[in-house]
Amino acid sequence: MLRTLESLGSLSGKRVVVRCDLNVPLKDGTITDDGRVRASLPTLNALINQGARVVVISHLGRPKGSPDSQYSLAPVAQRLSELLGSPVTFATDTVGQAAADAVANLKDGQIALLENLRFNVGETSKDDNERNEFAAQLAEFGDAFVSDGFGVVHRKQASVYELPQLLPSAAGTLIEAELTVLDQLTENPQRPYSVVLGGSKVSDKLGVIEHLLPRVDSLLIGGGMLFTFLAAQGHKVGSSLLESDQIDTVTRYLADARERGVEIILPTDVVVASSFSADAEHEVRPIESIEDTPFGADGLGLDIGPETSQLFSQRIAASKTVFWNGPMGVFELSPFAAGTKAIADALTRVDGLSVVGGGDSSAAVRALGFDDDQFGHISTGGGASLEFLEGKKLPGLEVLGWQQ
């Protein structure tokens, strides 16, 4: 049974360390998508309103175990302060003097954010002792621990796995919400149930496909991974992204789906470009003639075509449960964003549960002008969501009492 905030009792006047996932994209020190910061607000507000003294910890990016200014959480502290409408003290280290002072000076209902956890080698160390030592230092700052960074619960890291074993611990409201939705996607979903998978590599989605095939009614394939499926059917794909070593696996999935009566829906047309560039020449081609362009075998598919967008949108609209993970094309380049935008638009019209599966998908819907509340749920999980849907055990959930 997952331990929730209520299990911790009254937290008034207590120091509560909260592990959030504030790993936001930055450009020149400016946050380009604050979705994960906003997702942390319900738990933080719940603790502040109780009169807790809140110590927020998080990572950002992949620094190498030492301070690196490009990965500083300082911009996040500023944005968090703006969203909360109250000051957020920012400590310029993780477990040093600045952090100790920031925590010591907290009053009831106040909040501090410590610097990037991954500036300390102990956070991600493969050595159990190093992780335990860092977790013990973090535990000195709290009377209780709340885990609310769903995007990291699949990692055996000090702040995710060891720290909750050192303090009275529970899941925050974000993790609760994520688990409720993901449980719906795996146990008794409303039907018809469609899963839309995109992104670049089919190898990243193999576990999800295998685990969900017995559970879904239809599987829609887009993104770079579609070309491995097309190749498995004997189509030429030019210079499009292709994982030749996965063709046999994909062929097996296609056969398995037929046996189960699950419909795998592949694109009927794609946008083929002369190069990977926003100003590249491009044209829409049926999947049977991807190489029949002026670019020949050098052409590469960078988006699903308009016919496919319509086909996918119709299937999504007819579904009661839809999970989508991975863009349909290179949405960052405007000529190749139409497919992803069409899928996002279709999800907003689902009469049932529509779930955007985190990572690039959530970034895409925001970049393309959609609001979070237009969807049933936007996951903050990314890799954690996928591993959950693969049926894997997630260490950061197991330490909170969750059993999958």
- What single string gives the DSSP state of each residue in 146-180? EE--GGGTTS--IIIIIGGGTS-EEE-HHHHHHHH
Q: What is the set of active-site residues?
A: 36, 201, 359, 383
Residues marked as binding for ATP? 205, 301, 332, 358-361
The second-level CATH assignment, the architecture, of 5-173 is 3-Layer(aba) Sandwich (3.40)
Does CATH number 3.40.50.1260 belong to domain 181-389? yes
Token look-up 């995007």 returns 151
Residues marked as binding for substrate? 21-23, 36, 59-62, 118, 155
* Whole-number Å distance between alpha carbons of 28 and 82: 19
* Whole-number Å distance between alpha carbons of 285 and 63: 42
Helix (H, G, I), strand (E, B) or coil at 360: helix
Contact (Cβ atoms closer than 8 angstroms) between residue 205 and residue 225: yes
Extract the tokens encoding 309. 């967008």
Q: What string of pLDDT tens digits covers the 404 residues of the chain?
A: 899 999 999 999 999 999 999 999 898 889 988 989 999 999 999 999 999 999 999 999 999 899 999 999 999 999 999 999 999 999 999 999 999 999 999 999 999 999 999 999 999 999 999 999 999 999 999 999 999 999 999 999 999 999 999 999 999 999 999 999 988 898 889 999 999 999 888 888 888 898 899 999 999 999 999 999 999 999 999 999 999 999 999 999 999 999 999 999 999 999 999 999 999 999 999 999 999 999 999 999 999 999 999 999 999 999 999 999 999 999 999 999 999 999 999 999 999 999 998 667 888 888 899 988 899 998 887 788 888 888 889 999 999 998 86
CATH topology agreement for domains 5-173 and 181-389 = yes
Q: How far is CA 211 from the centre of its chain?
A: 18
Domain ranges of the chain: 5-173, 181-389
* Whole-number Å distance between alpha carbons of 386 and 151: 10
Residues marked as binding for (2R)-3-phosphoglycerate? 36, 118, 155
